[in-house]
Structure 1
Amino acid sequence: MTTDQSSSGKGRMLTGVAWAVLLLGLWLWGRDLTDGPGGSAAPTTGDVAAVGRPLLQVELPDAHDPVAGVRPGRVDIPSLGITAPVSARGLDGTGAVDPPPYEKPREVGWFGDGTRPGASGVALMVGHVDTQSKPAVFYGLSSARPGEQVKVTGADGSVTEFTIDDVQVFSREKFDAKKAYGPREEGRAELRLITCGGTYDHAAKHYTANVVVSAYLTGAAEAPATS
C-alpha cells in the first residue's frame, strides 16, 4: 500500500468513525426525545394510520440546489399554524442532543453542530409535543402531510423554503437513527423535524415513539438589502 493509499484509507476510516459517533448521539437523542411529562391527554400522533402512507395525487416540486445556509432564527409551518423561534442546541452529558428546556415549550431546537438549513445535508430540528399542562410547539406535527411547506428564516433575514415529502413514526424500541436522520437523497438540502409520538407510558415515564417529518429545499431567498 502506498502512502497516499494509506492516508486515504485512514481518512475514510475516520469519517466512518465520526459518522458512527454522530449516529450514536442521534439515537440517544431520539430516545431522549420520548422522555417527557405527558401532560396532554389528547393523541400525540394524529392519524397514525396515515403517517408514512404516501398520499395520492400529490405533485412535489423539484429540489432547489443547496445554498450556503445560515443560522436559523424562526421556523414556520403555515398549514399547522406553527411559528416558533429557533435556538441552537448542543449535546448533553450523555452525548445526546439537548432539546429545548420545558420552560420554553414554544421553542424549537436546532442541532447547532450539524447542517445549517439550506446547506447540503440534513438540518435537524426538535421540539416538545407537550408539557405537564398544555400542548407544546410540535403538538400537531404528526398532522403534517407531503406537499406542505416549512419556511426557515435565518438570523440574517434570508428565507429557505422546504417541502415535506415524508412523515413517519419510529417506535422507541426500533428507532433507526440512520433512517430517521440520514439523507433521503444524496446531494439535496434536507430538513428533519422531530417530536414525541405514540402514547405516553406513565409507568416508564416516556413516550413510545418519535414523529419524524422529512422535507427538502425547494426555494431560497436572500436577506433583504439594508440601506
Structure 2
Amino acid sequence: MRRRFRRTGGPGNAVIASVTVVALCCGMWLLRDGTGAHSPPQPSAAQAHTGAGGHGAGRSAAAALTPSAPDRVRIPAIDVDAPLIGLGLTGTGSLDVPPPGRENLAGWYEAGTTPGETGTAIIAGHVDNADGPAVFYSLGALRKGSTIEVDRRDGGVAEFTVHAVEVYDAREFPDAKVYGAADRPELRVITCGGDYSPTTGYRGNVVVYAHLTGSH
C-alpha cells in the first residue's frame, strides 16, 4: 500500500495529500493458491469506532513522550514481534513498503510522527507474501483494548491501547480519518484486507487505531 504524504499542521503530523493505491500485498499467496481459502481475518462491526472517540477503550490517554525513533513492534494478542525499518517516499512521492521477502518485518513512516509523541504515527506491513502469511496477517483479528508495544531507540517502550479496528475499500479509504493530525499520541497500524479478488488481490486495507496509554 503506497500513499502520498505531506507534512502539515505542525511537527510530527503526517496527512495524506493524495492517494495511489498499491497494495502492501496483492494477495500473492492467495493468488497462487487460487481459492482464497486462506484469507486473513477481517474486523467485525463491533470493533469499529464508537462515539467515545477512543477514550472508552479501557485505559485513558497518557502524556506524550519526547520524539524517538522506533525499533520494534509487539502485538501480543496476535503473536507479532517484529523489527521496524524506516520507510521513506519513492520517486513518485508515495510511501515505500518493507521488502516483501522478509515476512516478519514492518516499517514506520520516518518523516512523520514517532510513536509516542503527539500526533499520528504510522506503522505498515505486509499481510502475506508468495510463501504464506506475513507480519500483519492476523491484524484484522485484533479487538478493542488490545495492547501494542513499540520499543524506542531511547530505551523506552511506548504502550498503546487499541480503540478501533476497521476495514475499508481502497476506493473509499478515509485519508483524513486515518492519517490526519491528532492532539494526543496516536498510532495507526495498516495492512491489506477487505474483499479479495483472484484477479487483482485485496481490495482494501485493515486499519488499527490505538492511543498511547503508558510507557516504561
TM-score category (smaller protein):
0.7 to 0.9
Residues 116, 108 of structure 1: alpha-carbon distance in 2 compared, 3 angstrom cutoff: same
Question: Structure 2 CA distance, aligned partners of 1:120 and 1:86?
Answer: 20
The residue aligned with 2:215 is 220
Q: In the alignment, is the contact (CA less than 8 A) between 1:32 and 1:96 conserved in 2?
A: no
- Let me know the Cα RMSD of the aligned residues: 2.3
For structure 2, the residue ranges without an aligned partner over 5 or more in a row are: 1-6, 31-35, 51-55
State the structure with more CA Rg: 1
The residue aligned with 1:23 is 16
For structure 1, the residue ranges without an aligned partner over 5 or more in a row are: 1-13, 222-227
Residues 73, 15 of structure 1: alpha-carbon distance in 2 compared, 3 angstrom cutoff: closer
User: Once the 2 structures are TM-superposed, how far is the Cα of residue 47 of structure 1 from its aligned partner?
Assistant: 4.7
Tell me the secondary structure at the aligned position of residue 165 of structure 1.
strand
Q: Which amino acid aligns with 2:205?
A: N
The residue aligned with 2:127 is 129
Tell me the secondary structure at the aligned position of residue 173 of structure 1.
helix
Question: Structure 2 CA distance, aligned partners of 1:194 and 1:66?
Answer: 22
| TM-score, with length taken from structure 1 | 0.78
Tell me the secondary structure at the aligned position of residue 178 of structure 2.
helix
Residues 218, 94 of structure 1: alpha-carbon distance in 2 compared, 3 angstrom cutoff: same
**Is residue 204 of structure 2 the alignment partner of residue 199 of structure 1?**
no
Query: Per-residue CA shift, 1:78-123, capped at 9, x if unaligned?
Result: 1111100000000112211001011212101100000000000000
| Stretch moving more, 96-105 or 122-131 | 96-105
User: Once the 2 structures are TM-superposed, how far is the Cα of residue 153 of structure 1 from its aligned partner?
Assistant: 0.3
Q: Which amino acid aligns with 2:210?
A: A
Which structure has more helix as a fraction of its residues?
Answer: 1
Which structure has more strand as a fraction of its residues?
Answer: 2
How many equivalent residue pairs? Answer: 196
User: Once the 2 structures are TM-superposed, how far is the Cα of residue 218 of structure 1 from its aligned partner?
Assistant: 0.4
Residues 189, 15 of structure 1: alpha-carbon distance in 2 compared, 3 angstrom cutoff: closer
Tell me the secondary structure at the aligned position of residue 74 of structure 1.
strand
Residues 33, 51 of structure 1: alpha-carbon distance in 2 compared, 3 angstrom cutoff: farther
Question: Structure 2 CA distance, aligned partners of 1:47 and 1:178?
Answer: 20
Question: Structure 2 CA distance, aligned partners of 1:217 and 1:15?
Answer: 21
**Is residue 29 of structure 2 the alignment partner of residue 39 of structure 1?**
yes
Question: Structure 1 CA distance, aligned partners of 2:194 and 2:203?
Answer: 5
User: Once the 2 structures are TM-superposed, how far is the Cα of residue 23 of structure 1 from its aligned partner?
Assistant: 1.0
Question: Structure 2 CA distance, aligned partners of 1:191 and 1:59?
Answer: 14
The residue aligned with 2:175 is 177
Question: Structure 1 CA distance, aligned partners of 2:15 and 2:114?
Answer: 16
Tell me the secondary structure at the aligned position of residue 39 of structure 1.
helix
The residue aligned with 1:9 is none
Q: How does 1:1-227 map to 2 (within 5 A)?
A: 15=8, 22-25=15-18, 27-28=19-20, 31-33=21-23, 35-40=25-30, 41=36, 42-52=38-48, 59-183=57-181, 186-203=182-199, 205-221=200-216
Percent identity, aligned pairs only, is 37
Query: Per-residue CA shift, 1:116-159, capped at 9, x if unaligned?
Result: 00000000000000011200000000011111100000123210
